[in-house]
Amino acid sequence: MATTVTRLPDVFPREDLSGAVTVYEVGPRDGLQNEATVVPTEVKTEFVRRLVDAGLRTVEATSFVSPRWVPQLADAGELMASLPPGGEVRYPVLVPNLAGLDRAVEAGATHVAVFASATEAFARRNLNRSLEESLQMFAPVVEAAKGRGMWVRGYVSMAFGDPWEGRVPPAQVAGVAGRLFEQGCDEVCVGDTIGVATPGHVGALLQELYSSGVEAARLGVHFHDTYGQALSNTLAALEAGVRTVDSSAGGLGGCPYAESATGNLATEDLVWMLHGLGLDTGVDLGSLAATSRWMATMLGRPSPSRVVNALGGGGEG
């Protein structure tokens, strides 16, 4: 696997942006859960191993949602058993309820995430519960995870818009995020599930969260590139102080329960921008691009990542 590239971005640091950025890799979970066919466990394991070798230190590995709902991740326990030792690497997993948490604990997970909604419509479509009922469902999950000494992330999906409800007021998102923090979440990630956010919207939502008492250090952002805004939205979040950004190697994934959602922000595209700004990620861009080319070959289609393609094509043998 290649570890160098023929070109890297020229670095022009900005005085208002400094330090390290946590690249929260979601490809193995959020990416592969959307595949029409089931990817073999050994391929998933190799995918995660290559991502870790490329320098990623947070890799969301899988989901302990019922295999009936997400058959692509039915091998969650088997996958966790096959992953390289954690050490300084975190392997968060999604857990929908106490039964999912029990399965995750049995599989050796130490970092988990719950997936809440900012809107009533998506809560009912995704969880078959009202928004309030879904938050009540997560409370004992977070409590039990924290009681076991686990790190817990809370996702807030549809934070910037909902295909059924339309506009989502920032105060409504802040309210859900506040409930997740009250329950004990260590970090909350606001998600642009259908990719409709713009930089001004990002700034307004983050300011609403800050006004409600949330610290930037405890926030993550998760952007989809449906309208080509993921990188500009990421820059707006960085300018507002956020330093944890979700992305998916090769741009894999979307949301299986939101028909208008397309691919995630590609990790390579994100890293190219961050490195150009002089922000540290710990990621080797060449190894990462080679990993996504390899996975594109495994999936039988080109990678949608522009950086992957610019650095050497969408797939490799």
Kindly list the catalytic residues. 255
**Residues 6 or more apart in contact with residue 228 via CB below 8 angstroms:** none
Question: 305 with 251: CB under 8 angstroms?
Answer: yes
Which ranges of 212-247 does DSSP label H, i.e. alpha helix?
A: 230-239
φ, ψ at 280 (rounded to 5°):
-80, 135
Q: Give per-residue burial for 208-225: e unless 16+ CB within 10 Å, then b.
A: bbeeeebeeebbbbbbbb
Phi and psi, residue 117, nearest 5°: -120, 150
Half-sphere exposure of 132 (CA within 13 A, CB side): 0
Contact criterion met (CB below 8 Å) for 251 and 218: no
Question: Measuring CA to CA, which residue among 286, 287, 293, 295 is closest to residue 313?
Answer: 293
Say which DSSP state 263 is in.
Answer: P
Q: Locate tokens 């070109």: which residue?
A: 7
Residues across the chain: 317
CB 105 within 8 A of CB 144: no
Token readout for 110 is: 């130490």
The sign of the torsion formed by the CA atoms of 246, 177, 217, 107 equals negative
